[in-house]
Amino acid sequence: MLSSIAAGDYGPVASAAHSLQLDADLVLTLVKNTFKPALHAWRRQLLPFLNRIPLDRGNCPVCGAVAILGELQDNHLAKHLRCGQCGADWTFPRLRCSYCGNDDHHTLSLLYPDPWDGKVWVEVCDMCKGYLKVIFSFTPTPADRLPIEDLATLHLDYIAQVHGYKRVPIGPDDVSP
């Protein structure tokens, strides 16, 4: 189930919950949170190795989950992706879709809340219709606060979804050639 959950495919969990006559959302929440302590420990052990490897994938190099947030960190405003499952933090090119790898600036854009405070926005990709919430932060958000940041930026999910974007493209059919 971990690989399915990390990939954003909740179908197997929903099927298992349905066959046991349980609420699928509740089972999914329990399963995701059951794995978190082990994933956080795993991340701490792998951190020294991750800092030495150039990473250009949008999926977490520790657990495979899709990034929950992007952060612009330090004085250079380096873009980092953050994993909501294990708390990993890895650098990622600023002008690239974290889902499909698109780097054509004509098909990438930003959406802002109104009024805009300059601290949060949404990066969107017209190739795969995916979006990533981005926050401005000089220092990395502590791993245990990432779910709170995700909730604090819920209005960005609304903005992106109203414009037809999805947080996680579901499969290959969602990505245009």
For position 171, what pLDDT does the model report?
Answer: 42
Q: Rounded to an integer, what distance in angstroms lies between the CA atom of residue 131 and that of residue 124?
A: 4
Reference 129, options 174, 71, 86; nearest CA is 174
Q: What pLDDT, on the 0 to 100 scale, is given for residue 173?
A: 39
Per-residue pLDDT of the chain (177 residues; tens, 9 = 90+): 666 766 667 788 888 888 999 988 888 878 777 778 888 888 888 877 776 776 777 888 888 888 999 999 988 888 999 998 899 988 899 999 999 999 999 999 999 998 888 899 999 999 999 999 999 988 899 998 999 999 999 999 999 999 999 987 544 334 333
Phi, psi of 28 (to 5 degrees): -60, -45
List C-alpha distances in Å: 51 to 14, 48, 56: 36, 6, 13
Which residue type occupies 39?
L
Q: What is the pLDDT of residue 7?
A: 64
For 53-89, write each residue's pLDDT tens digit.
Answer: 767 778 888 888 889 999 999 888 889 999 988 999 8
Q: Could you tell me the domains of the chain? A: 2-174 (3.90.1670.10)
Q: Report the pLDDT value the prediction gives residue 82, as an integer from 0 to 100.
A: 94
- What does the block give as tokens for 75? 């004085």
Q: Which pLDDT does position 8 carry in this prediction?
A: 65
- Beta strand 131-136 with 120-125 is antiparallel
Q: 69-95 b/e with 16+ CB inside 10 Å = b?
A: bbbbbeeeeebbbbbbbbbbbbebeee
Annotate 30-59 with b (16+ C-beta within 10 A) or e (fewer): ebbeebbeebbeebeebeeeeeeeeeeebb
